Structure 1
């Protein structure tokens, strides 16, 4: 419907092309407010032959809910007109059009509201026929109206259009609404689903601005909340049945138990018909505000397949629709019915109080209240000539005490109710408020909910579970499955030394160096600290060996002291023997320092005491070795006595030991051994040991001991192989000279590995090799010595006796 200018002189210059549309409800006034509501749900479009002027579409199936919206608007206008304080001396009129639930008729209504009903006019420019427009209920129709009226700067305020796209002030600068934007609703839906622990959901939306924009925001918010969408289907009310049936088949095959229906009422109606036809039950429905309080959808037939928890925003003789309303509400007919008709006649005296339908249902007046606020909002816009500038800053309170204001995008503050469909005692579905969601509250406090009062799918009191994979318990982590959403995963136990202390953890945390994971991998505990203790079996065994060694050495010393004047003791160099026994005793006692918890002082003592006592011991062995070698080298009795005199022996032992003392002193002064927690050998426990500090000092001590042992061996330790079987003492002494080399080698290897247990066994061979052979040796008698002299070996006995 457009206006065109006639060129012929004298004719009316402006005329409407097409047939003008007339409002369903109207009233004249000084100021006229237009409106468009979907008063009818169905439309029949005429056939287009393109030869004749098309007829206007016909509408049917009265929508009692939308009719109530229209009645609310007229009530609010009458309340304003009857008030002496709201708009004195000004009468507000209205023109209410029926959009028949289609965008096409909404556009025709918008053109009629702009042009008026006059077919001709003196000029094609001037003021619009209405001051402002209220409507529409659906976002797509509202967008069409706002775009048509935008160039004329006519304010449009909607009571039910929630598409977030309408918040774009550049595209819709004159649009306002008394219902929050879908941006907040979609995000609230995502948070609600996450609140109930549902991470695997399906979604169906209207294939228009309302559904597509709302679902786009929901998908984005769901990803932020960790919710995965198994499928997302789009439908329209005029889609072929095959298309609707295919969508229902997708719902039936899905594994998710929660379905988000972001649908307008028309799409929800056709989807429900197919859902009921295919008997799809057991789903938990999550609804948008568009259809959740639509009473005509909440029938016993539909309640068998729907249980939903959702987020929701919060007598006139001139009425041309009254006749149709009366016939629809009371299921009667004013015109004389046919003889074959079963419809009863209307008397006009039926009682409205006996009705129970969407029109008379006063339990759900949220959207009606939005219409009421929109009407008062338009009343205020008349007061100020700069309508848009004023409307953006409006802040008023309705007669029922509700405050109304808008943000810079023309949207009110978002506050929603959580509504649950529950079946009453008489089988009628009730809309029960079980909670609230307030965007203005801090994060974490936006939901106020009474979960115990919710009735879940299948009239159950148990909340359904809808997940792709079961939660990973603490001690395991999620591992995504290739080709599937992140909500589908497998659970992998944490490795040793790693933990996860929350459910559905995406990674395992490594324990600190001195900690280890417990058996369930849920927390880090202190690693078990191990060291050679006196209480454990090995510690007790080694302590016993050391004590036995000390006792054995003391016993030998006592025997030698008891027979100190005998030739055999004198022949074994009693002074060096007693010093050797003393050093052996210290070596056995030194082994005890390696047992017990390492400390700063014990670490220094164990290494230095070991180095010094072992050097003293080998120094004594080396001195005795030199004596034996020189004795066997002597060709004339007494020739090598000065070389092996007692002072010289003492000096050699003192000098060799003193050098080791100096090495140990430098080692301790520069970088002493310290306690160390070793985790290199065992990851699950700590070996408490002594770190050598300076590797140079450590190996210098061991190297010096090795040098003394090598000297013992090289100074003719092999000479023992040349002795006769009668010289048991010399043979034992020679054997004891070679064993320090092996003992030192094993000690160095053990020390390099930080395991010192082998040190305990380094000394028992010395008493056995050095002192047991002379003890009760039956061959060491005078006749044997006489026989040895005859063999030319008497020089050995002379040399030993002289020493």
Structure 2
């Protein structure tokens, strides 16, 4: 064996030993056998492809380290095409015809709702590392485990970021799915805590085409708020940003913030779409860097290219890493559970019952679930602990999309708030400060100045402000352009009025309406002038 081969073998052993917390432990003879495991993924999607490569590598790596384990996982991968009914159908097929004792996935939150009920009735653990809808609660379906965080975990980091930059209003743009809608109630509460309002909610159908997305963006352009939180999958999100750039909404004055749905896979998005997203901020799960992770990423990239030769290069992302760690957890749990008499007890037959009503109940389900909940280890994605039926809170990384790349600009933690570096001392709730402790941001339009968060709408009614020439021109003077017929006003009173408008956290488009005739002569006394407001006069001399 040459030096390179020896080095590679040593590195592989180091990675696998790190993940397995040492080479195989003493094996007790509590029953040899296999444990069938189903995996339900949308194999046509980027996340689904990433997950497939990751779980296959996890299977190979785990048993390379634990060669003398007596219980082996046998994986059965099924595609859902992102359809709830098909995902449920695949789950039933896996339970009836392949006797699976655990199901990984499904990928979407709406699919997980269906499959978790099936798994719960059959006492088969369902472990999803991608379903983030907070409505999926293990208290309702105790056999559902979330090998990730719910979207409720990230809302405080989003609120902190918005507060830190002094924005007072924000509009969420989300896809009309369980995943998209699930975050909204939690986001509303988090924003209210820091004094930020949500004047409008922009829901976009998952099946929306470019024209429909464009129509919604035009609607947003008629509003004054210019800060958007984008919570959607990469498919519809790519259309959104491409159209936003075409319409001039990725320019100076706009602020865009990505939730972890897109931010986690930012480096796997098309370069053309990344170019359109230039200047956006993002919040995503933080994965500690390590030599083991670096070596795994190199191997994973080569394997993904073999599995998907026609796809552009990508990275494992947090979804791939958590899929990998899920397999390791499940394999360790399977070894602790005796497979002797691991059969399904058929539920009592009932008249007019469906196949769902006659599915068997796993005899090892409760023990397998307990073993999964008790197993804790440090995986590629970080600390992997499902004690509370979902991963514990983690650190969020704040990124800035600059020149088609993601640039790390800081972090957010529940205890420390926003900080540029994780090891910074003197933690405090940074979002209460006027300037966030982050690396410099390149905003849309390559601007270096923080967007004020609002501007005059493209369309809409204007505030009509009555003005009249005073006996003291330095106090107020009114003039009308003879060509454009536009009224202008100057003087101390006007300066005060316009300065007050600048201090408001929202835009008020306005125009001056003169109470003077073309020769600059007033239509009446000052009392007559003020009384026009009571009369509802739009143009002096004609009622509304």
Give the TM bin, normalised by the shorter chain: 0.5 to 0.7
Counterpart pick for 1:368 among 315, 320, 333: 320
Shift of 1:375: 1.1
Residues 1:218 and 2:198 are matched in the alignment = no
**For 1:420-439, what aligned pairs fall within 5 Å after superposition?**
420-423=400-403, 429-439=404-414
Unpaired runs of 5+ residues, structure 2, are 1-32, 287-297, 338-363, 419-426, 457-495, 509-544
Question: Separation in 1 of the partners of 2:51 and 2:119?
Answer: 22
Shift of 1:170: 2.7
Question: Separation in 2 of the partners of 1:299 and 1:442?
Answer: 32
Could you say if the C-alpha distance between residues 191 and 174 of structure 1 is closer, same or farther in structure 2, counting changes exceeding 3 Å?
same
TM-score normalised by L of structure 2? 0.61
Counterpart pick for 1:403 among 373, 376, 383: 383
Question: Separation in 2 of the partners of 1:301 and 1:92?
Answer: 39
Counterpart pick for 2:260 among 283, 289, 307: 289
Could you say if the C-alpha distance between residues 373 and 264 of structure 1 is closer, same or farther in structure 2, counting changes exceeding 3 Å?
same
Question: Separation in 2 of the partners of 1:487 and 1:144?
Answer: 44
The residue number in structure 1 matching 2:64 is 82
The residue number in structure 2 matching 1:377 is 329
Residues 1:195 and 2:194 are matched in the alignment = no
2:69 alignment partner, SS class = coil
2:198 alignment partner, SS class = strand
2:323 alignment partner, SS class = helix
Could you say if the C-alpha distance between residues 150 and 421 of structure 1 is closer, same or farther in structure 2, counting changes exceeding 3 Å?
same
Could you say if the C-alpha distance between residues 432 and 189 of structure 1 is closer, same or farther in structure 2, counting changes exceeding 3 Å?
same
Shift of 1:186: 1.8
Question: Separation in 1 of the partners of 2:127 and 2:163?
Answer: 33
Counterpart pick for 2:128 among 131, 151, 158: 158
Residues 1:33 and 2:4 are matched in the alignment = no
Question: Separation in 1 of the partners of 2:402 and 2:507?
Answer: 35
The answer to whether the 8 A contact 1:215-1:262 is kept is no
The answer to whether the 8 A contact 1:435-1:447 is kept is no
Shift of 1:373: 1.4
1:196-245 CA-partner distances (Å, limit 9, x unpaired): 21212221112121111201110111111111223211112213665433
The residue number in structure 2 matching 1:694 is none
TM-score normalised by L of structure 1? 0.43
2:201 alignment partner, SS class = strand
Residues 1:139 and 2:139 are matched in the alignment = no
Question: Separation in 1 of the partners of 2:402 and 2:285?
Answer: 19
Could you say if the C-alpha distance between residues 439 and 406 of structure 1 is closer, same or farther in structure 2, counting changes exceeding 3 Å?
farther
Unpaired runs of 5+ residues, structure 1, are 1-28, 42-62, 118-128, 330-355, 424-428, 470-475, 491-803
Could you say if the C-alpha distance between residues 420 and 93 of structure 1 is closer, same or farther in structure 2, counting changes exceeding 3 Å?
same
Give the structure with higher Rg (CA): 1
Could you say if the C-alpha distance between residues 113 and 415 of structure 1 is closer, same or farther in structure 2, counting changes exceeding 3 Å?
farther
Shift of 1:73: 0.5
- The root-mean-square deviation of aligned C-alpha atoms, in Å, is 3.4
Could you say if the C-alpha distance between residues 275 and 174 of structure 1 is closer, same or farther in structure 2, counting changes exceeding 3 Å?
same
The answer to whether the 8 A contact 1:434-1:450 is kept is no
Question: Separation in 2 of the partners of 1:181 and 1:440?
Answer: 19
Could you say if the C-alpha distance between residues 374 and 450 of structure 1 is closer, same or farther in structure 2, counting changes exceeding 3 Å?
farther
The answer to whether the 8 A contact 2:160-2:417 is kept is no
Residues 1:357 and 2:313 are matched in the alignment = yes
Question: Separation in 2 of the partners of 1:403 and 1:130?
Answer: 27
Counterpart pick for 1:300 among 254, 272, 275: 272
Question: Separation in 2 of the partners of 1:237 and 1:303?
Answer: 22
**For 1:172-571, what aligned pairs fall within 5 Å after superposition?**
172-239=141-208, 243-282=212-251, 283-292=254-263, 293-295=265-267, 297-314=269-286, 325-326=308-309, 328-329=310-311, 357-358=313-314, 361=315, 365-382=317-334, 383-384=336-337, 385=364, 386-398=367-379, 402-423=382-403, 429-439=404-414, 445=428, 451-466=438-453
Greater fraction of residues in helix: 1
1:433 alignment partner, SS class = strand
2:313 alignment partner, SS class = coil
How many pairs does the alignment contain? 374
1:146 alignment partner, SS class = helix
Stretches of 4+ moved more than 6 A in 1? 321-324, 446-449
1:598-627 CA-partner distances (Å, limit 9, x unpaired): xxxxxxxxxxxxxxxxxxxxxxxxxxxxxx
1:352-406 CA-partner distances (Å, limit 9, x unpaired): xxxx622xx3xx63222111111112123322452333433432233x5943213
1:107-130 CA-partner distances (Å, limit 9, x unpaired): 23222222236xxxxxxxxxxx21
2:39 alignment partner, SS class = strand
1:290 alignment partner, SS class = helix
Residues 1:95 and 2:76 are matched in the alignment = yes
Structure number with the bigger relative contact order (C-alpha 8 A, sep ≥ 6) is: 2
1:258-292 CA-partner distances (Å, limit 9, x unpaired): 21111122331333344345443223211111112
Could you say if the C-alpha distance between residues 466 and 150 of structure 1 is closer, same or farther in structure 2, counting changes exceeding 3 Å?
same
The answer to whether the 8 A contact 1:414-1:440 is kept is no
Shift of 1:40: 0.5
Could you say if the C-alpha distance between residues 401 and 255 of structure 1 is closer, same or farther in structure 2, counting changes exceeding 3 Å?
closer
Could you say if the C-alpha distance between residues 113 and 159 of structure 1 is closer, same or farther in structure 2, counting changes exceeding 3 Å?
same
